[in-house]
Chain A
């Protein structure tokens, strides 16, 4: 069953075609990755799926609902881990989670145990009452992930989840995402610049270039078809191949 279905999606910023007639489906339970250089349209596609930007043209359905008609209903069932850290600096770790749960109408009697459970999952139980500024970059990332999971999302959207992390923090995030996918059955949609990340986590990847999707396949299938490794496939398909 398709959790996301996109047909003929186009997004214009003035004259610029940020996304140009894109089609794809994402199945329930899969991990789907968007690869592509900066400006290829990955983040725009993700923002449209999250109901943050309206499509200029095309049909975008999440859980079978139109993003233009049912934004709140869709957003109630997704979790988003942003690329930029946007925690509330004036609140402690646990307060960040409780306040965020309120946006989903989760009352305190449910959000406190849920938040504690998630802090344990992301390994931040000891930081429960700490101010945000005492957290390292990796800890902030993990807290953002915990926050994205408060509403038990069926679909988790991650914009460059490990950019800027040291290798051990990166592996920690990968382990957690793997757990969500295999144990909880959460559908994951992510963007990344790390080929290793795409190969480790993604069942399928879409390679984007200049607003178009130039390939969608499992990473192994792409490697088999074009040869080399995923990075070489990526460079060839995004027009920055070694032959140029």
Chain B
């Protein structure tokens, strides 16, 4: 892998994105805004406090983290798959000095970049509305990038394995949706039998929610294990997008 050539792929995605962002950027705020309104204000009127925080403040960092990683997931499932099969962008790029490993690294870095872009813009919004008590929330930026990178890894792995674009439904319905609801964004997992938290421990979003919430409260040290977890898992997953894509593309 050559990082300069990976950057060329990243740069292509940025060029295309800057042409299209006007139509897609704003739409990405709709969902987090709805969650904050419906749950934060609607449900928040009945739920007084969770763990000593007003309910809307409790959920805001997690909404930011999940919106960020879903930006990466969309990019590296549907986006990557369309570039690989329908648009044949991969074929066009692979006959230039860019090799497959450079291309895959470009996809991963771009997925992480989208998490960073969306996560940061939501961070600004929740800060403006006073939903983050500590300026340490700004440290979420690198965490969102790394979290986005993990989800890009998982999504590219998925793109390498699916037989067709419809198969992403399984990834979304069986993995992402349950992970979203049981990541501790909306309620602490202690209310469930211990097994639920144990399963959640193996999903990346749970840790991202812990970290961003700790930062928003100004207690970064309480999420040390979560931070370690995302670094280790990002490293463990790293070889697989490359290996599986090679298997799919180069026979």
Contact = CB atoms under 8 A, between A and B. Distances in A.
Partners in one complex: yes
Contacts of A91: 15-16, 19
B134 interface: no
Chain B's interface size range is 20 to 34
Interface of B: 2, 4-5, 8, 11-12, 15-16, 19-20, 87-89, 91-99, 250-251
A88 B15 CA distance: 11
B219 to A, nearest CB: 43
B91 A86 contact: yes
Contact of A80 (B95, B98, B251): B95
A66 to B, nearest CB: 15
A53 B11 contact: no
Contact of A99 (B5, B15, B99): B15
Given A88-B16, A91-B19, A104 B97 contact: yes
Contacts of B251: 13, 53
Given A72-B5, A91-B15, A95-B15, A82 B97 contact: no
Contacts of A138: none
Interface in A131-167: 151
Contacts of A78: 95
Interface of A: 13, 50, 52-54, 71-73, 75-76, 78, 80, 82, 84-91, 95, 99-100, 102-105, 151
B92 A100 contact: yes
Would you call the interface of chain A mostly helix, strand, loop, or mixed?
Answer: loop
Contact of B94 (A52, A76, A89, A102): A52
Contacts of A103: 5, 8, 12, 93, 96-98
A72 B250 contact: no
Contact of A50 (B8, B11, B89, B95): B95
Contacts of A50: 95
> Which A-B residue pairs are the 7 nearest by beta carbons?
A86-B88, A103-B96, A80-B95, A72-B97, A86-B92, A76-B97, A90-B16
A52 to B, nearest CB: 6
B89 to A, nearest CB: 7
Given A76-B97, A80-B95, A102-B8, 4 more contacts: A75-B97, A82-B95, A84-B91, A151-B96
B88 A84 contact: yes
19 contacts: A71-B99, A72-B97, A72-B99, A75-B97, A84-B91, A85-B88, A86-B89, A88-B12, A88-B16, A90-B20, A91-B16, A99-B11, A100-B96, A102-B8, A102-B12, A103-B12, A103-B97, A104-B97, A105-B97
Contacts of A13: 251
A52 B95 contact: yes
A82 B95 CA distance: 9
